[in-house]
Amino acid sequence: MVLVSLIILGGVFLGFILTLRKSLKRKLIIWGIITMFIITPFLGWIISILVGIIEGDGFAAVGMMMLLFPTFFIIGLVLLIVGFFRKEAF
């Protein structure tokens, strides 16, 4: 669980580094990609495992994963699409 937390923190740090002094369009695209491919699977896994441990049932963990993964992925996808279709302000 510690390794997964470090991966999430590394992804967030990478996002901040890659978006320094960039336009809003570029920031939205980068954060959309990072949200979809780094934050979504690992954060969903951590939350689902914790729910499964608290409830004492593996099916609760799987159910939570089935709810969280698409939700977080759609949030990242919306960020990416908004970034693609946003016009640059000169």
Summarised one tens digit per residue, pLDDT across range 51-80 is 999 999 999 999 999 999 999 999 999 999
Q: pTM here?
A: 0.89
Residues in CB range of 71: below 8 A, 6 or more apart: none
pLDDT tens, residue by residue, 4-30:
999 999 999 999 999 999 999 999 999
Could you tell me the pLDDT band of residue 1, with boundaries at 50, 70 and 90?
confident
CA distance 45 to 51: 10
Please give the span between the terminal C-alpha atoms of the chain, in angstroms, as a whole number: 44
Burial class (CB in 10 A: 0-12, 13-18, 19+), 7: middle
